Amino acid sequence: MGASLFTAGTTVLSHGDASALPQSPHEAKTATGAPAPAASAATVDRVVVIADRDDDDADDKPDGEADFLAPAARVDLVTLDARYSGATLTPTIGRENARVVANGKPIAWGATVPPGAQIQGLSPGHASIVARSGGREWTLSIAVHGVALRDGAKKIVDMARERASLERTPPSRVDLDDADRTVDDPDAVRVVTTSPEGTSIGALTIDSLAADGTSIDTLRDPRMISVACANGVGAGARCLASAPLRLVVDDVDRSHPLVATRSIRAEVGGAVVVRDASGKKLQAIRVAGPRASSVGPIGRHRLTIRPVVMRLTPGGAPAVGGTDAGAIAALRQELALASATWGQCGITFGPVSQMEVKVASPPPPYLVALGDDVGLPASGGEIRLKVDGRPLSMTTKRGWSTRQVALELQRALEKIGVTGTLSENARIGPGAAPSVDVAVKRRGGELASVELVSSSDATLSVHVGAVDLTDGLQHFGDTDSVAGTLEERTLVKAIDDGDPRTIEVIVVPFFAGGGRIGESFIASDGSSMRNVVILDRAGVRARRTSLTLAHELGHVILDEPGHPDDYGVDTPTLLMDSDASDSSPFGPRRLTTDECARAVRQSGPAARVPLLTEWKLAPMRYGR
């Protein structure tokens, strides 16, 4: 259905009787054939439409330029009353400001109007149309208002080919009385209206919608200041502009006194809708990543995450939340906050409320680590194990590498009816060679229970990994950060789905030794431990003071182990700052355009391991 705006004294086009049409005194006849009385020359049908420059059918083309309008793209059109069916419409002025659309296709001026035809605004201005039907003649007067967006540099933002972006700079004061002033904010946009002479668009409402059409936030009656109209706008037109609007991710940013009157919460994939005082949609723009970067405009990308909350002991309480339901709710809240934060780069995790969160018990001792530490080769000896209570014995030979020993162990495991999956770890700094882990599983895929009985090899270290979270998870240090500790590997490899395109997020009760609330393993380390984030309950509790989950995910998405302040200027407002802690809008929550571009290069669809998949925007519901 088409939306419409009518001025005082308007003849409503979507209602009425054909017999009420004004008639030409020279051509109109009564039903008996006698001349009909002349209609008043002042009788005019008046309608107001909006220049249709947005993209309601999500084809990256302004609806007003489309050769065919899909049903979703007709929301801004005004439907002509049935009495216009069979009429011809001939413009006397303003033919460039509007057009007639029938069944989604524009029809030429002067052609016969079919039933259900609609008027579409094209550009701000006024059009006067002579309508003729059955020997009658009357006037259709169309006022076309413009609703546009302008960025901080006063450049028009194309609402179809460009996107609104989430705020990546801290709050700052601007002169709200100077709507023609440029502002140093690449994400802020002003709403600019253009009204033909003698008309007014009235009070506005800015509505922020989620991708499913539900309302996120509303900014009512923003102050509009008179500004100079753009070149080409008709004489006498009036143009107004709002303050630079900030699209923010949460109420912390939304409510700061410096920007509270010009901020609105938004999310990637949603839309910012400009409405009139009655709530009707005027124009809209979708929300995605930055409009400009070194890799070009950044659209919407989806990151796939597998979240798991560990229990303290097998069958015991989860690391956070107190109960399984509480743990799931707590982690979903944290994921929602991290997803909103990465929305600055056009990255989203999808509907977090629908994301599956598992609550899992620590795994049994199933992982046999060969050469765990410095990866020295074998010097010869016997390794004796018990696998689910069954004895296993194998002999190593002098000079065998850790991988050769692992392959021999794999063959020995096959002989007793279980499987061994090999994974090579990155060589640590002081290591001679990489260590190799062998995950022992039963034929059905369940983890087996392994016990080391003895090993007589003097140089090859052999250990069986075990996870005991009651004393905290043993975390890596500087020397073994690329490989992780044996306890970390035992935990992660029990949960890993084997898909390098997903990120495992694991919540543990706490890290051993204190001083750490989160850590991550990235792909460039070359280890079997990659694309993993481990968070403890303190990291979850930190919430907005440090955005720990969003920060640790940043190491994986950016494929960057360091921090910008490790080798540059300390900027505590940046998410990837190593030591900032502040829950205000000036805390560590911002991402730079360069970081967004790096995320696309390192983890985007064209990356070696694409963690991000392009998620095309689809048509959405805007309400009225």
Whole-number pLDDT of residue 516: 85
Q: Dihedral sign, CA of 331, 332, 337, 339?
A: positive
Give the tens place of pLDDT for each residue, 560-607. 988 887 777 888 999 999 877 889 999 999 999 999 999 999 999 999
* Whole-Å CA distances, 104 to 108, 152, 573: 13, 35, 49
Judge residue 216's burial from the number of C-beta atoms within 10 Å of its C-beta, 0-12 exposed, 13-18 middle, 19 or more buried.
Answer: middle
- Residue that is last in its domain, among 442, 466, 490: 466
- Residue 564, domain extent: 292-360+471-624
Task: Give me the chain's average pLDDT, please.
Answer: 90
Q: Is the pLDDT of residue 521 over 80?
A: yes
Assess if residue 12 is contained within a domain.
no
Q: Is the pLDDT of residue 20 over 70?
A: no
Asked if residue 513 and residue 440 are part of one domain, the reply reads no
**What are all long-range contacts of 444-447, with beta carbons under 8 Å and residues at least 24 apart?**
447/363, 447/364, 447/366, 447/494
Asked if residue 593 and residue 537 are part of one domain, the reply reads yes
Whole-number pLDDT of residue 526: 66
Asked if residue 323 and residue 308 are part of one domain, the reply reads yes
Assess if residue 435 is contained within a domain.
yes
Q: Is the pLDDT of residue 233 over 50?
A: yes
Asked if residue 619 and residue 488 are part of one domain, the reply reads yes
Question: At a CB cut-off of 8 Å and minimum separation 6, what does 187 contact?
Answer: 164, 165, 166, 167, 168, 169, 246, 247, 290
Asked if residue 368 and residue 309 are part of one domain, the reply reads no
* Paired tokens of 367: 């992982």
Q: Is the pLDDT of residue 43 over 80?
A: no
DSSP 517: S
Torsion of CA 158, 164, 169, 172, to 10 degrees: 70
Domain of residue 497, CATH code: 3.40.390.10
Whole-number pLDDT of residue 16: 30
Under 8 Å between Cβ of 303 and 383: no
Asked if residue 371 and residue 354 are part of one domain, the reply reads no
User: Which range, of 18-27, 244-253, 384-393, averages the lowest pLDDT?
Assistant: 18-27
Asked if residue 610 and residue 552 are part of one domain, the reply reads yes
Q: Is the pLDDT of residue 27 over 60?
A: no
* Whole-Å CA distances, 353 to 331, 336, 343, 479: 10, 8, 17, 39
Spatial distance between the Cα atoms of 57 and 421, rounded to a whole number of angstroms? 49
Asked if residue 327 and residue 307 are part of one domain, the reply reads yes
Whole-number pLDDT of residue 292: 96
Give the tens place of pLDDT for each residue, 188-201. 999 999 999 989 99
Assess if residue 68 is contained within a domain.
yes
Whole-number pLDDT of residue 246: 97
Spatial distance between the Cα atoms of 375 and 428, rounded to a whole number of angstroms? 9
Collapsed DSSP state (helix, strand, coil) of residue 123:
coil
Average of per-residue pLDDT across 224-238: 87
- Residue that is last in its domain, among 436, 466, 496: 466
Q: Is the pLDDT of residue 327 over 90?
A: yes
| Per-residue H/E/C for 435-452 | CEEEEEECCCCCECCEEE
Whole-number pLDDT of residue 435: 94
Average of per-residue pLDDT across 269-285: 97
Give the tens place of pLDDT for each residue, 492-503. 999 998 898 999
Asked if residue 451 and residue 505 are part of one domain, the reply reads no
**Which is more confidently placed, 21 or 523?**
523
Whole-number pLDDT of residue 569: 80
* Paired tokens of 9: 């004294």
Spatial distance between the Cα atoms of 92 and 555, rounded to a whole number of angstroms? 63
pLDDT category of residue 22 using cuts at 50, 70 and 90: very low
Spatial distance between the Cα atoms of 171 and 253, rounded to a whole number of angstroms? 8
Assess if residue 10 is contained within a domain.
no
Q: What percent of the chain has pLDDT over 90?
A: 78
Domain count, the chain: 4
Assess if residue 4 is contained within a domain.
no
Whole-number pLDDT of residue 385: 98
Under 8 Å between Cβ of 557 and 303: yes
Asked if residue 279 and residue 320 are part of one domain, the reply reads no
Asked if residue 166 and residue 63 are part of one domain, the reply reads no
- Residue that is last in its domain, among 262, 288, 314: 288
Spatial distance between the Cα atoms of 293 and 604, rounded to a whole number of angstroms? 14
User: Which range, of 292-301, 305-314, 556-565, averages the lowest pLDDT?
Assistant: 556-565
Spatial distance between the Cα atoms of 279 and 301, rounded to a whole number of angstroms? 31
Give the tens place of pLDDT for each residue, 445-484. 999 999 999 999 999 999 999 999 999 999 888 777 888 8
* Paired tokens of 591: 């991402």
pLDDT category of residue 524 using cuts at 50, 70 and 90: low
Asked if residue 135 and residue 31 are part of one domain, the reply reads yes
